[in-house]
A and B are shown apart, each in its own frame.
Chain A
Amino acid sequence: MSSAFTGSSRVDVDNSTAQLPRHTYISPAILNLERVYEQNRQLLQKKDGAKVPDPITIPQTKGKPRLLLMGQRRSGKSSISGVVFQKVSPSETLFLESTARIHKNNLSSFMEFQVWDFPGQIDVFDNPNFAFDMDAIFGEIGALIWVIDAQDDYLEAVARLNNTILHLQRSYPHINIEVFIHKVDGLSDDYKLDIQRDVTIRIQDELSDQGVENAPVSFHLTSIYNHSIFEAFSKVIQKLIPRLGQLEAMLTNLCRTCRFEKAYLFDVTTKIYIATDSTPEDMASYEICSDYLDVIIDFTQVYGNWQRSPDWRKHLEQAPWMQPLEDQVACERAESGMVLSDAQRPIMLREVDRFLALVAIMKEGSYEKMPQINMNVDVVVKGLTEFFEITKPKETRTTTETIAGRAAGGWIND
């Protein structure tokens, strides 16, 4: 059994192109890609009616949503990708060198991602030396993340961003554009909001001057020194998850029945939450849940990652227990609980599958009712597993069956 907490390889840097036969199954990401792909196809159709590609073939080898990190040089793109996806500690990012070429990271998690880190000095749209293949870059993109250094003069960054948005709006109008107003640690709350307002207005004015309305642009205040960068990524990724509503409904239901205050479904590797219940967002509860996850991961790393001797196991299975170790445990996945000194708001955690964990903040007094809560959580975990099962690799299929399989996979019977 591989577990999200004990799995050895956490982040998979792009060195092997084909680890899994990806073309044989559909990930939620591919479902989402079909939409983007359809958009590209129609575009091509307009340009060149004769050479329309087959509407169903998706570029298989690259079938993962892509997060593009762009922005001015020294705005913190590589630091962000390091902190979020490669577990670099924020203070270590000081040693990062300037990025000279596009860095591509593969992230295998509950859904497969590619993170492309662009060098800031290159302008993709206006480069006299080298013409970029726009389709290759933006063709299957999930989201474009534009990083702006809030502690620097950001006028040029905003101008370039505007330029980028206009280009994208013309050819790829469905790309989500996420603006990270970055390095806001150390700035006062008022100042942060001022900057955000200023940037928002500048971009919206420019766009409406150019006649672009309703562009999918959103803004986030971020810093790698606190949880804001993870929260911002959570929002970005949630937009790419198909049928997010279902997940949220499940969690909301769990919260209601177990009287939880807040529940998060975390991606363990990145600490991004991919869903939460419907109660209002609350930074403090996200922070404690994500730190709790960290504590569990750290403990597991130290105590769960080494092989115990056979004697140890034999000793544990003899009298008075007389049971194989597997039967002695109640739950074969990780489970955990924590009580604060004031006995209010205990926290519980349950591992869902290789990549996901459910973390919830409970209400006062519910820790005594853990057995009942555990039963409810069991049910929800089962539901979540089923939800993700639909998109798991289908076993051996011939190529002709693939399309049918994909079509079937496309239907999710709720």
Chain B
Amino acid sequence: MALAQAQAQAAQLKKVKKQKVLLMGKSGSGKSSMRSIIFSNYLARDTRRLGATIDIDLSHVKFLGNLTLNLWDCGGQEAFMENYLSQQRAHVFSNVGVLIYVFDIESRDVERDLATYVNIISALVQYSREAKVFVLIHKMDLIQSLTREEVFDRRVNIVRRKTAEAVAIVRKQKPEQSPGTPGGAAAAAAAAAAALAASSPSSILDIDIDMQLFATSIWDQSLYKAWASIIHDLVPNLGVIETQLASVGVAIDADEILLFERTSFLVVSKWTSREGDNNPFGDRFERMSSILKSWKHTCSKFTGTPRNAEQFSDLEIKMGTKFSMFVTKFTTNTYILVCMPPGEARFNSAKLNVAAARPWFRFLDGPVIAPSAGAGSSQHLLAHNSAGGAGGVQSEANSRPLNI
């Protein structure tokens, strides 16, 4: 009884917290393609089959056990865009957690794209000032690799300038609109803006958009980098995951630990030792995502099971005296990748310890399960780790309160 009640309460809490993730951009810029690749296990070449998105395609993407992304894939044809900005303005732009705006680098009419972007940003600032903005400069594979960086930098400057312009427009409009009597089609919008302005009049002027830009392409790992940052801030209990991952890493003497979400293989959290920080490959996290995801596709082809199904449970690599590494099924919703120094005994004890650490992370699977179950047994196993010091770290991690 009490449990059911608690669950209901939690569900309610979640409902309130569920924020929108808007995916916008010009028609044909690749919004639905990237969504399908990241969340629906499409291959890059399969996205050719996708047709144009009509109006708004709502989807609830389950991510880990306790996070549901309320993803609004907004069709980008001009008629729809106008509709979002006028009639549906409040409906679309209120309560937005994240806006992902996609630019097609190959687009011919850049000015027009930017004008639409400015409109969208001002609408967003009007209704959800706290929203984070991610701008993806997409289809970068169509630019010859030598000039990619330059083209991207140039575009970044333009977009930043335009964003500032959009904010400035809103800033200018606000004082005029709120006292006056708004008329015409924008009545509803302006009224809402006025309400907003009335509720927090002081903060209007210091609008500061939290914006990140990425160069992406569905044909390489850049897409994973962008999306990993997008989901990174949405994951609840991130601090707890990070500290616990760090305790595991220290206990087993690892160089690097990555935690992946099961279906998308996006990096949820990572921990790197001081030695591992010297790794010259700064893009290794998204590379791992991309490698493992394509490996998953290969497996699904081999076993004949659907792509969304789980494919492999264990992958071990021992590279002589260079390094050892394993990727294994961790909790129900995650995989863990551990890269560690070579050594047979070290490798085997690390595998056991990672298995023992599973209960610490059980909270990743369910919405409200306390992460302390099974601590006793894991403590026992960890005590055997010859690297030492693990027991202490572990109990410390367990006694830490969790905010769910």
Contact = CB atoms under 8 A, between A and B. Distances in A.
Interface of A: 1, 3, 5-6, 89, 91, 95, 225, 284-285, 287-288, 291-292, 295-296, 298-304, 306, 308-309, 311-312, 316, 320-321, 325-326, 328-345
B344 A329 contact: yes
Nearest to A297: B291
Interface string B272-308: 0001001111001001100110110011011101000
A246 B388 CA distance: 50
A205 B241 CA distance: 70
Most chain A Cβ neighbours within 10 Å, of B294, B325, B339? B325
Given A299-B317, A329-B343, A291 B298 contact: yes
A320 B316 contact: no
Contacts of B299: 288, 340
A3 to B, nearest CB: 7
A298 B275 contact: no
A332 B295 contact: no
Given A299-B291, A340-B303, A91 B141 contact: yes
A89 B141 CA distance: 11
A304 B284 CA distance: 12
Given A306-B279, A325-B342, A328-B342, A300 B319 contact: yes
A326 B321 contact: yes
B270 to A, nearest CB: 13
A interface, over-half SS? mixed
Given A299-B325, A331-B320, A338-B315, A288 B302 contact: yes
Given A284-B302, A308-B275, A303 B341 contact: no
Given A300-B319, A306-B278, A306-B279, A340 B311 contact: yes
Nearest to B339: A303
A189 B245 CA distance: 49
Given A316-B341, A334-B318, A336-B316, A302 B302 contact: no
A326 B321 CA distance: 6
B311 A304 contact: no
Contacts of B288: 299, 302
A333 B319 CA distance: 6
A368 B316 CA distance: 14
26 contacts: A1-B320, A284-B302, A291-B298, A292-B295, A295-B291, A295-B295, A302-B281, A303-B255, A306-B280, A308-B278, A316-B253, A316-B346, A321-B346, A326-B321, A328-B344, A328-B345, A328-B346, A336-B316, A336-B317, A336-B318, A337-B316, A339-B315, A340-B302, A340-B313, A341-B309, A341-B312
Given A287-B298, A288-B298, A325-B342, A333 B320 contact: yes
A321 B298 contact: no
Interface of B: 45, 141, 144, 219, 253, 255-256, 275, 278-281, 284, 287-288, 291-292, 294-295, 298-299, 301-303, 305, 309-323, 325, 329, 339, 341-346, 386-388
Nearest to A330: B344
Given A1-B320, A287-B298, A295-B291, 19 more contacts: A6-B319, A91-B219, A95-B144, A288-B299, A291-B294, A292-B298, A295-B292, A299-B288, A303-B325, A320-B387, A325-B342, A328-B346, A331-B320, A332-B320, A336-B315, A337-B315, A338-B314, A340-B299, A340-B311
Contacts of B255: 303
Given A91-B141, A95-B144, A284-B302, A341 B313 contact: yes
Nearest to A290: B298
A1 B142 CA distance: 40
Most chain A Cβ neighbours within 10 Å, of B256, B281, B303, B320? B320
A89 B219 CA distance: 10
A398 to B, nearest CB: 37
B344 A338 contact: no
B41 to A, nearest CB: 15
Given A288-B302, A308-B275, A321-B346, A303 B323 contact: yes
Contacts of B279: 302-303, 306
A67 B256 CA distance: 43
